[in-house]
Amino acid sequence: MIPLIDIHPNYLYKVFVYAGRAYETGTTKCDVDRKQLARGIEIEMEHTSDREVAERIALDHLSEFPSYYTALDFIEAVMEAGMLEEVMAVVAERTEAIS
């Protein structure tokens, strides 16, 4: 049987590394807050066993939103406190007032 696709794993890794938002924007680990990056790697390691992949994902998030992991920790704390609906109502109210 002839395989339909024969792609080397290193090729897929390179595609992943060079396809992210951080690569598109030229963001490197020198450009982001070290604490945010460390927290990001810690969180992303929940989804992968590869530290480099976790770092890439964290850099992608931080290239778009420099405080991504602080915001994530905040929203998780709000959810754990059972206050998500109240916070969302305040956000909706303030957003409506702005527009």
- Taking only the tens place, the pLDDT of each residue in 65-98 is 999 999 999 999 999 999 999 999 999 999 887 7
Long-range contacts, 72-77 (Cβ 8 Å, 24+): 72/43, 73/39
Residue 62 near residue 22, CB atoms below 8 Å: yes
- pLDDT band for position 16 (50/70/90)? low
Report d(CA 44, CA 96) in Å as an integer. Answer: 34
Cα dist from 95 to 84, 89, 99, whole Å: 16, 10, 6
According to the model, what pLDDT value does residue 7 have?
56
According to the model, what pLDDT value does residue 40 have?
98
